Amino acid sequence: MARHLVTSALPYINGIKHLGNMVGSMLPADVYSRYLRQRGHDVLYICATDEHGTPAELAAKEQGLPVDEFCARAHDAQKAVYDGFELAFDYFGRSSSPQNAEITQHFARKLYENGFIEERAIRQVYSPVDGRFLPDRYVEGTCPHCGYDKARGDQCENCTRVLDPTDLIEPRSAISGSTELEVRETKHLFLLQSKLQHEVEAWIDRVSPEWPHLSTSIARKWLTEGLNDRAITRDLDWGVPVPADTWPELATEGKVFYVWFDAPIEYIAATKEWADAAPDGETRDWKSWWYEADDTVRYTQFMAKDNVPFHTVMFPATELGVREPWKKVDLVKGFNWLTYYGGKFSTSQKRGVFTDTALSLLPADYWRYFLVANAPE
């Protein structure tokens, strides 16, 4: 009997998710987990809300709430919808948990010790009107690759290209809308992915023959273009803080880790949350699933295609660079986007049928069947 670790891409905290999000990650993971359990396998299905980063701060600001209170409410609201869809998570955690902060900081320290993180001075967008640096999604503008005029400073939602805020054409502040932006120098931590490219390539050569074509093609496209060193810290109030014992100056400046550095680590941290939440008298060994996991553990991830690069390239590079025996994914199941009248479902643009509305219209099993039968393969 195999042990199956199953995760679905973490739903972001900035609102109730749409059906495209459901069909591309959580629902197929749930169906697969149910199937495996009925076959008698030992299954651990883990998920969590992804709570850090600029969209959480912006959504909280829009609602006039402190960001921690906004995230707590949004987590409960999302969990209620997933209970309505009868998703059988073994645990549904939160990336703002102490466990995630602890493990993320541990990963960062190890990467630094191994020579894969360095501090660099960079030029970053600053808004005099807002009186702050504007990381990632605090900057909006036109994508230089496809011309989409609502591209964000971390990724273009239209063509999925990863961006920096300084790449955008006619950039503006997402806070005030000001176009009076400057570029100033500041310091950040960089993950030296370029030094790990060959190891990532070797790992993908070994494991990807079982992956669907969508997942392998996206991963290899990134590797062909070459892995670039990437900033993994941001100027935000909300996130996993940079540890002061390793980077005192950056900690004093209030730097936090980039959401795409800490979010995949939450798969591990949510499993620790699951173990820590065990009832009295029950012991749960979270490390047997993740750390020095034996050959009987098979790890399968489910996600839509825009999340594939982070899970097939960036997070594996992080795990490899830590130089510790953390479990890496065996199968990445990527999905194309479910379309809505020919366009892409979008939480930020409030476009499509959303999961809470769906449940108010029809029972969960109607949606479960229809979505799985029409999954965007």
Inform me whether the pLDDT recorded for 294 exceeds 80. no
Contacts of the segment 37-41: beta carbons below 8 A, 24+ positions apart: 40/1, 41/1, 41/2, 41/3, 41/4
One domain, residues 83 and 128 = no
C-alpha–C-alpha distance, residues 111 and 376, integer Å: 37
Residues 121-170: tens digit of each pLDDT: 988 899 999 888 888 788 999 999 999 999 988 889 889 888 888 899 99
In a domain, 221, yes or no: no
Mean pLDDT score across all residues of the chain = 94
- How many domains are contained in the chain? 2
Residues 175-185: tens digit of each pLDDT: 899 999 998 99
Average pLDDT over residues 74-101: 98
Question: Which pLDDT score is estimated for 137?
Answer: 80
Residues 311-352: tens digit of each pLDDT: 999 999 999 999 999 999 999 999 999 888 888 888 777 889
- Calculate the alpha carbon distances from 72 to 4, 13, 57, 66 in Å: 29, 9, 13, 10
One domain, residues 289 and 363 = yes
One domain, residues 362 and 284 = yes
One domain, residues 137 and 92 = no
Domain that holds residue 148: 117-191
Question: Which pLDDT score is estimated for 161?
Answer: 87
Q: What is the β-pairing status of strands 297-304 and 3-8?
A: parallel
One domain, residues 20 and 46 = yes
Residues 235-277: tens digit of each pLDDT: 888 999 999 999 999 999 999 999 999 999 999 999 999 999 9
Domain end (from 191, 218, 234): 191
In a domain, 78, yes or no: yes
Domain end (from 191, 218, 237): 191
pLDDT confidence band for 31 (50 / 70 / 90) = very high
One domain, residues 81 and 138 = no
Domain end (from 151, 171, 191): 191
One domain, residues 282 and 358 = yes
Strand runs labelled E in the chain: 3-8, 42-49, 91-94, 117-127, 132-133, 139-142, 151-152, 169-173, 182-191, 230-231, 233-234, 256-257, 297-304, 331-335, 339-340, 343-344
Can you give the CATH number for the domain in which 124 is found? Answer: 2.170.220.10
C-alpha–C-alpha distance, residues 264 and 107, integer Å: 12
In a domain, 227, yes or no: no
In a domain, 302, yes or no: yes
Can you give the CATH number for the domain in which 287 is found? Answer: 3.40.50.620
One domain, residues 97 and 185 = no
82, 255 contact by CB (below 8 A): no
One domain, residues 272 and 362 = yes
In a domain, 71, yes or no: yes
